[in-house]
Amino acid sequence: MLNSIRSLRIAIIALFCFTAFILFYTLQTNTKTAYINITEVFNQFDLKKQLEKKYTVTKNARDKVLDSLKFNLQMLNTKLSDPKFRNDTLLVYFNLKKEEFYQKNGEFEKDNQNYSTQLDSEVLSQLNQYIKDFGKEHKYDYILGTDGNGSIMYAVDNKDITKEIVEYINLKYKGVK
Amino acid sequence: MRRFIYKVLCAGACCGLYISCTNVSLNETGETPVIPYDKIEPNSPALKDNYISPYEYVEWVKNPEHNLNRTKEINEFTFTLLNKPLDYIISIDQRKESITGSEYTKLKNEFGDLMYFDFTIEAAKAPTELLKYKVSGEAEYQRRVTYFSYEMQKDFSLIDDLDTLPCILFHYERTYDIVPYGKVLLGFNPLKNISGKTFEFMYHDKVFNNGYIKFTIRKSDLENIPKLKTV
């Protein structure tokens, strides 16, 4: 009787140890993974919003210059279409203005493109760093990014840390954290 | 057993008395309690009446726990902002163990009431000089030199809820090939009425494409800075 109780106790302890070992092993090997909606994170990042405003101001100023040149061209064109005002000097002047418009338009398009690329690179440079910091701080093995192009086909909702990341990166950007 | 309990209680009381005596002592006049600077908790109200020596003052300001010396890492760059109270500048300027009251007043008037900062940019893999980091050639290097010497000032500002202050004092310490970081000394007019609990220090990094670099400064951290002890 005593022997059977003892062997039962040993069996229970052994089972407990085995369960603990399995649990520990699972926890050790289990990778911590989450995903974020890249587009949402990018759009909600305060630095992106601020730089976007700056870009819009510059672009609007350039658009105004182009609008003014375009208006002048239209006026000249109207004048030229009237035989009363048409002469060679006016035609030369019109062509010069037209060339100036195309040249400025090309320049501004190129500048806008370069400026936009530069600002995007400024945003991404900080964004990547803060996501890395978040991952390290919260001990993630992987933070995956989804933008609806099929990179992640399915994940449970509680693995979506987009909101948490947005809050974190904006605090980091402000220099509070 | 009872005797043992009495002994333990007595030892505990003695220890308590000893700790309280070593942590708080009286200053020369015997009026204001002086707490050793390394024992001061950030935001402690005790700081308001705390006077510390120039050496201790410099150490206190440099201690990151007190939020006057902050760093931010973005990829391979480390940006450091050191908020320099006037007493810190006086301590650094004098490099003495003690400063007299008259020296202190004279220097305080000399430095004025600006808000002073040191801003440092360090690139982890910079060869010998920050301006040479990933530079494409001599022309770009010269552009960087011009920017850091004359144009960079306009990219610094202090931002309160109601006000944006430009940098009015600027000096770039050019170190050539001696150190792999760049340091700028900055001065701003003081924000007279800080409307919120915080305000922001901002720099727009256009050279290394890191965007706006911000540091939020808490009003409470500035209110709890100790004072410089004079003799």
In chain B, where does DSSP find H-type helix? 2-23, 54-62, 86-94, 101-111, 138-146, 219-223
Question: Is the minimum CB–CB distance between B160 and chain A shorter than 8 Å?
Answer: no
On whether the CB atoms of residues B142 and B132 are closer than 8 A, the answer is no
* pLDDT in the model for residue B189: 92
Helix (H, G, I), strand (E, B) or coil at B61: helix
Over the stretch B86-102, which tens digit does the pLDDT of each residue have?
Answer: 999 999 988 888 888 89
* pLDDT in the model for residue B30: 39
Examine the pLDDT at B24 and tell me if it is beyond 70: no
* pLDDT in the model for residue B12: 47
Residue of chain B whose alpha carbon sits nearest to that of A118: B209
Q: How confident is the model at residue B20 (pLDDT cuts 50, 70, 90)?
A: very low
Q: How confident is the model at residue A53 (pLDDT cuts 50, 70, 90)?
A: very high
Over the stretch B49-59, which tens digit does the pLDDT of each residue have?
Answer: 678 899 999 99
Q: How confident is the model at residue A82 (pLDDT cuts 50, 70, 90)?
A: confident
Question: Is the minimum CB–CB distance between A137 and chain B shorter than 8 Å?
Answer: no
On whether the CB atoms of residues A33 and A139 are closer than 8 A, the answer is no
Q: What is the mean pLDDT of chain A?
A: 88
Higher local confidence (pLDDT), B36 or B183:
B183
In B64-215, where does DSSP find H-type helix? 86-94, 101-111, 138-146
Of A126, A174, A175, the CB nearest to B211: A126
Distance CA B35, CA B51 (A): 9
Q: What is the mean pLDDT of chain B?
A: 81
Residues 69-108 of A with CB under 8 A from B: none
* pLDDT in the model for residue B52: 87
Q: β-strand B181-188 against B164-173: which pairing, if any? A: antiparallel
Q: Whose structure tokens read 């951290």?
A: B221
How large is the average pLDDT for residues B40-50? Answer: 53
Task: Tell me the shortest Cα–Cα distance from B214 to chain A, in angstroms.
Answer: 5
Residue of chain B whose alpha carbon sits nearest to that of A121: B209
Asked whether the CA dihedral B131, B132, B133, B137 is positive or negative, the reply is positive
How large is the average pLDDT for residues A94-108? Answer: 94
Over the stretch A153-176, which tens digit does the pLDDT of each residue have?
Answer: 888 888 999 999 999 999 999 998
On whether the CB atoms of residues B182 and B175 are closer than 8 A, the answer is yes
Examine the pLDDT at A2 and tell me if it is beyond 90: no
Higher local confidence (pLDDT), B193 or A143:
A143
On whether the CB atoms of residues A174 and A46 are closer than 8 A, the answer is yes
As a residue count, chain A comes to: 177
Helix (H, G, I), strand (E, B) or coil at A177: coil
H/E segment holding residue A42: helix A38-44
Higher local confidence (pLDDT), B197 or A47:
A47
C-alpha dist (Å) from residue B69 to A57, B59, B81, B211:
35, 11, 6, 21
Question: Is the minimum CB–CB distance between B214 and chain A shorter than 8 Å?
Answer: yes
CA-atom Rg of chain A in angstroms: 32
Over the stretch B126-171, which tens digit does the pLDDT of each residue have?
Answer: 778 899 899 999 999 999 999 999 999 999 999 988 889 999 999 9
Question: Which of B131, B133, B123, B144 is CA-nearest to residue B78?
Answer: B123
CB–CB contact A175 B205 (8 Å): no
- B141 burial (CB, 10 Å; 0-12 / 13-18 / 19+) is middle
Higher local confidence (pLDDT), B81 or A85:
B81
CB–CB contact B210 A175 (8 Å): no
Backbone angles phi and psi of A62, in degrees to 5: -70, -40
